[in-house]
Chains A and B, each alone.
Chain A
Amino acid sequence: MEFRTFVFYFLSAILVIAGLRVITSRNPVHAALFLVLAFFSASGIWMLLQAEFLAIALVLIYVGAVMVLFLFVVMMLDINLDRLREGFWSYLPLGSIIALLMVAEMGLVLGGNYLGLFEAEVPQTSADHSNVQAVGRLLFTEYVYPFELASVILLVGIVAAVALTQRERRQSKAVSPSQQVFVKAWDRYRVLQMPAEKKD
């Protein structure tokens, strides 16, 4: 067996096991961590395909940013497993249809070589060829309009997220710390002068 093949199977095995653990592990934080592992192994496989830009971008964006925010949310959740299991049977038909669809789609992609779906072979590049430069050149020439469109959609997403969090600003009782530090003792309490009572 070639060393490359060994690396591929090694990474794939980790990827598959991590993927399985994402859906089987009880603890949501563990599931998220296994997802991180899955992303990492997937990036290793992309690296084997000499797609270094995609591989590094996967780690940078998904592992470094998306999953961190994901963990933030998951850690704050108070998950009751029994409540989650309640609707299992009622959701099963819909869930299995989606699962079948996904299996069919994956079959089409994986069997693509056999069915003759792909027009081009995966190009092999030389070692001094910069993947990042090639992707960048294509993005800013051939695919410039889709690229700009995607960035506009992302911008709309950002604006929407900010608008959603700002919506309920008025009800918030949060105090601005920069005003808070200017508080004086006399704003918070007052000393009452009481005349001494006479003893009868």
Chain B
Amino acid sequence: MVDALQGFLQGLFGSVFPLVWTLLKIVLIIAPLLLAVAYLTFWERKIIGWMQVRIGPNRVGPWGLIQPIADGLKLLLKEVVIPTGCDKSVFLLAPMFAFAPALAAWAVIPFNDTLVLANVNASLLYIMSITSIGVYGIILSGWASNSKYAFLGGMRSAAQMISYEVAMGLALVVVLMVSNSLNLGDIVRGQGQGYFADKGLSFLSWNWLPLLPMFVVYLVSIVAETNRAPFDLAEGESEIVGFHVEYSGMAFAVFFLAEYANMILVSTLTSILFLGGWLSPVGFLPDGILWLLLKISAVLFIFLWVRATFPRYRYDQVMRLGWKVFIPLCLIWLVVVGCWMMSPLNIWK
């Protein structure tokens, strides 16, 4: 069927066919992603509600299922207030800076053995560099708002994101060392081999077990990196003023979307780098995209679970955890893995 469609479009568009085909693929990735973002907000409210013995949203539509659509519509209809004395162009640019990287990074994410928009060799490097742009949205929104509180909030969150990017980057270095590749597809394929994979227990061969400290560091860092509870110093709804105090309506909603799109992105990366991507956990079940989706949902659930469970960290504790605990731990584990790979006990040949 795909071939027939491809042939039809090729006849229709002629020489610009590759462009149209790529655009179609981009839409096929982005549209479900945005839907997932909308329903992630819904599930967050539901799950936290259940954990706190409440019901959660249940009025709009059956079981409250239309709630995210209603929220989106409400935000669309609200006025975007632009503060006096603010830098208007930068003020409106900042939400885009926050949101665009979260979408652009999906270009190199492999969904299964063949399903990937751009199979580039340096895909991990690409992801790291694209996601590092997201911090501009925070800094610029804080500065352009012409408000002290937004500015201080922006500085706070930006410092936090930069700190945890270092720990995340070092964890990724260890992963690419053991998989000997920067290609996300190759990293997943590398996890499908090993002693346990041959015995049919593939899930013990995935990177999370041999690189357990890095997995833990990465899992905590992504929570801090996306400014989520218990590291949500960016916006702690009731207590601290964050970088987007001056934003309203859709401009605020774009920050909100960016946060959830980033959550989905980092969950996908965790699944690919540490949890074996599209690989099946046991030998007798086939591999496929469903496993990837299942793993992403599991990591996303951890995000929500953590938010409902832990109290917020104090800012100096957040910084201490990043700089004085995670970075030294990553550096030590980097050397340990290096020695391990050079020793006869190397399991990643």
**Does B229 have its Cβ within 8 Å of any Cβ on chain A?**
no
Q: Is the CB of B125 within 8 A of A53?
A: yes
Q: Is the CB of B90 within 8 A of A60?
A: no
**Does A71 have its Cβ within 8 Å of any Cβ on chain B?**
yes
CB-contacts of A168-200 with B (<8 A): 176-178, 181
A178's closest neighbor in chain B, by CB?
A: B316
Q: Is the CB of A36 within 8 A of B136?
A: yes
Question: Of B87, B120, B129, B155, which contacts A60 at CB under 8 A?
Answer: B129
How far apart are the CA atoms of A150 and B139 in the complex, in Å? 31
Q: Is the CB of B132 within 8 A of A29?
A: no
Binary CB contact string for chain B from 108 to 147 against chain A (1 if under 8 A, 0 otherwise): 0000000000001110011011101101100110010000
Q: Is the CB of A64 within 8 A of B129?
A: yes
Q: Is the CB of B129 within 8 A of A56?
A: yes
Q: Is the CB of B121 within 8 A of A52?
A: yes
Which residues of B have CB within 8 Å of A56?
A: 122, 125-126, 129
**Does B327 have its Cβ within 8 Å of any Cβ on chain A?**
no
Shortest CB–CB separation between residue B16 and chain A, in angstroms? 11
**Does A131 have its Cβ within 8 Å of any Cβ on chain B?**
yes
A75-B151, A132-B182 are contacts. A68–B136 as well, Cβ < 8 Å?
A: yes
Binary CB contact string for chain A from 38 to 58 against chain B (1 if under 8 A, 0 otherwise): 000000000000001100110
Q: Is the CB of B133 within 8 A of A52?
A: no
**Does A35 have its Cβ within 8 Å of any Cβ on chain B?**
no
B169's closest neighbor in chain A, by CB?
A: A60
Question: Of B126, B139, B151, which contacts A68 at CB under 8 A?
Answer: B139
How far apart are the CA atoms of A177 and B128 in the complex, in Å? 33
Q: Is the CB of A60 within 8 A of B125?
A: yes
Describe B's contact surface by its main secondary structure.
Answer: helix
**Does B302 have its Cβ within 8 Å of any Cβ on chain A?**
no
Q: Is the CB of A53 within 8 A of B132?
A: no
A131-B121, A132-B182 are contacts. A63–B316 as well, Cβ < 8 Å?
A: no
How far apart are the CA atoms of A181 and B313 in the complex, in Å? 13
Q: Is the CB of A130 within 8 A of B121?
A: yes
**Does B187 have its Cβ within 8 Å of any Cβ on chain A?**
no
Q: Is the CB of B132 within 8 A of A71?
A: no
How far apart are the CA atoms of A68 and B136 in the complex, in Å? 7
**Does B162 have its Cβ within 8 Å of any Cβ on chain A?**
yes
Shortest CB–CB separation between residue A127 and chain B, in angstroms? 9
**Does B273 have its Cβ within 8 Å of any Cβ on chain A?**
no
A56-B122, A68-B162 are contacts. A29–B129 as well, Cβ < 8 Å?
A: no
How far apart are the CA atoms of A130 and B181 in the complex, in Å? 10
Q: Is the CB of A68 within 8 A of B316?
A: no
Question: Of B129, B165, B315, which contacts A59 at CB under 8 A?
Answer: B129
**Extra inter-chain contacts (4) besides given A64-B128, A68-B162, CB under 8 Å:** A29-B87, A33-B90, A36-B136, A65-B132
A-B complex: 8 closest residue pairs judged by Cβ atoms? A64-B132, A60-B129, A59-B129, A130-B121, A56-B125, A177-B316, A56-B129, A75-B143
25 sample A-B contacts, Cβ–Cβ < 8 Å, listed by A number = A29-B143, A30-B90, A33-B90, A52-B120, A52-B122, A53-B122, A53-B125, A56-B122, A56-B126, A59-B130, A59-B133, A60-B129, A63-B129, A64-B128, A64-B165, A65-B132, A65-B162, A71-B136, A75-B151, A130-B182, A131-B121, A131-B122, A177-B316, A178-B316, A178-B317
